[in-house]
C-alpha cells in the first residue's frame, strides 16, 4: 500500500532534506522512524516532492512510501510523530494510488519567503525570517515580479552548479504582501530550479531598495547568466508551503 503524507519541518538544525552521509537530514530521520515502526533492519525508502536546502523550512512538504502495516490512516501521524524528532511532524496521511509519486505526480508547488524589516533583530525570528532592515518599495517589487511570471528560461535565476539542462520553468503566481513587521513573498510554479526561489527573492529585494529598476529584470532573464541576476537570499526565510497534485 502506498501512503502519501504531508509533513512539516523546521529546517534550522538540518543539512537539508536529502540524505547525506554523516549529516542530519530530514529524509534520514523519516527513514529511520519508518524502519523502527516497521521493525525492519532495512531502511524504508521515502520519496519527497523534491529536496530542500540546508536551513530551508517546510510547512507542507509531501512524501510517499510503501508499507505493509495496517495502521488506520488517521493514526499514521500519531504513530510517526511519536518516533520522529520534534523538528519534523507529520500533519496528514492518506492512502494513495500505487501510481502516485510525490515528485513526478506534483503539478504545482508553492513557496513562501518571509522578510522582516524591523530596526533591531527579533530573537524569535532569527531562524524563521530574513532580517533586512531597509525601507522596501513594495510597488517596485511587485512590478519587477510581473516580468518573471509566465514561462521563461530561468538560467539567470539558478545556481550555476545545477546539472539540469532544461531551465525553462513556468511561474504561475508571484506576489509580495505586507505582514505585521515586513513582507511575505508567495510564489507558485510548475517546478523550481536549484536556488531559484531564493535568487528571485534576493533580486526582488534589490528592486525594493532601488538597487535595480523593475525593468532590469527583463534583461536579467534575457542574459541567461547567473551573474546577471541578484544575490541568493538566505535559506532561513524560505518555506516549501504546499505541493499540489491533480485529482
Instruction: Tell me the closest approach of the beta carbon of residue 24 to a second copy, in angstroms.
Output: 14
Name which position in 94, 97, 122, 215 contacts a second copy (CB under 8 A).
122
Of 58 and 193, the one with the shorter C-beta distance to a second copy is: 58
Is residue 57 part of the contact set for a second copy (CB under 8 A)? yes
- Region from 3-11, 143-151, 170-178, 230-238 binding a second copy, contact rule CB under 8 A: 3-11
Q: How far apart are CA 27 and CA 19, in angstroms?
A: 6
Which of 86, 166, 180, 227 touches a second copy by CB under 8 A? 86
Report the interhelical angle of 196-208 vs 138-146 (nearest 10°).
Answer: 130
- By beta-carbon proximity to a second copy, the closer residue of 87 and 143 is 87
Which residues does 139 contact at the CB level (< 8 Å), separation at least 6?
A: none
Is 53 part of the annotated catalytic residue set? yes
CA dist 221 and 223 (Å) reads: 6
184 binds a second copy (CB under 8 A): no
For the chain, what is the largest distance between any 2 Cα atoms, rounded to a whole number of angstroms?
58
Which of the following is catalytic: 10, 28, 42, 53? Answer: 53
Positive or negative: CA dihedral 98, 103, 109, 110: positive
Instruction: Report in angstroms how near the CB of residue 151 gets to a second copy at its nearest.
Output: 34
> How are beta strands 57-66 and 238-245 bridged, if at all?
parallel
Using the rule CB under 8 A, is 8 a contact of a second copy? yes
What is the distance between the alpha carbons of residues 36 and 114, in angstroms, rounded to a whole number?
A: 36
Residue 173 interacting with a second copy (CB under 8 A):
no
Total residues binding a second copy (CB under 8 A): 21
9 is in an annotated binding site: no
Q: Which of 30, 44, 56, 88 binds a second copy (CB under 8 A)?
A: 88
Query: Which of 7-15, 155-163, 185-193, 205-213 is the region at the interface with a second copy (rule: CB under 8 A)?
Result: 7-15
**In the set 39, 120, 135, 161, which binds a second copy (CB under 8 A)?**
120
- Between 126 and 146, name the residue whose CB sits nearer to a second copy: 126
Contacts for 126 with CB less than 8 Å, ≥ 6 apart: 236
CA distance 21 to 17: 12
Q: How far apart are CA 201 and CA 185, in angstroms?
A: 8
- The reply to whether 22 sits near a second copy by the rule CB under 8 A is no
Selected from 21, 123, 165, 247, the binder of a second copy by CB under 8 A is: 123
**Residues of 88-118 as b/e, b for ≥16 C-beta within 10 angstroms?**
bebeebeebeeebbbeebbebbbbbbbbbbe
The annotated binding site for substrate is made up of 111
Active site residues: 53
The annotated binding site is made up of 111
Amino acid at each position: 500500500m502506498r501512503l502519501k503524507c504531508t509533513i512539516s519541518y523546521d529546517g534550522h538544525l538540518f543539512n537539508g532534506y536529502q540524505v547525506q552521509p554523516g549529516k542530519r537530514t530530514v529524509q534520514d530521520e523519516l527513514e529511520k522512524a519508518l524502519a523502527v515502526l516497521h521493525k525492519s533492519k532495512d531502511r524504508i525508502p521515502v520519496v519527497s516532492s523534491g529536496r530542500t536546502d540546508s536551513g530551508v523550512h517546510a510547512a507542507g512538504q509531501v512524501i510517499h512510501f510503501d508499507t505493509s502495516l495496517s495502521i488506520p490512516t488517521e493514526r499514521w501521524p500519531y504513530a510517526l510523530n511519536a518516533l520522529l524528532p520534534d523538528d519534523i511532524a507529520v500533519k496528514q496521511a492518506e492512502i494513495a494510488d500505487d501510481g502516485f509519486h510525490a515528485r513526478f505526480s506534483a503539478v504545482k508547488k508553492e513557496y513562501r519567503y518571509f522578510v522582516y524589516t524591523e530596526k533591531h533583530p527579533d530573537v524569535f525570528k532569527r531562524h524563521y525570517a530574513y532580517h533586512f532592515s531597509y525601507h522596501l518599495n513594495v510597488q517596485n517589487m511587485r512590478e519587477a515580479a510581473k516580468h518573471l511570471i509566465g514561462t521563461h528560461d530561468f538560467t539567470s535565476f539558478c545556481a550555476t552548479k545545477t546539472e539540469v539542462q532544461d531551465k525553462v520553468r513556468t511561474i504561475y503566481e508571484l506576489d509580495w504582501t505586507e505582514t505585521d513587521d515586513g513582507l511575505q513573498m508567495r510564489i507558485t510554479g510548475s517546478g523550481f530550479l536549484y536556488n531559484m526561489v531564493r535568487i528571485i527573492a534576493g533580486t526582488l529585494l534589490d528592486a525594493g531598495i532601488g538597487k535595480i529598476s523593475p525593468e532590469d529584470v527583463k534583461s536579467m532573464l534575457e542574459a541567461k547568466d547567473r551573474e546577471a541576476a541578484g544575490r541568493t537570499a538566505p535559506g532561513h526565510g524560505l518555506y516549501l508551503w504546499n505541493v499540489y497534485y491533480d485529482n
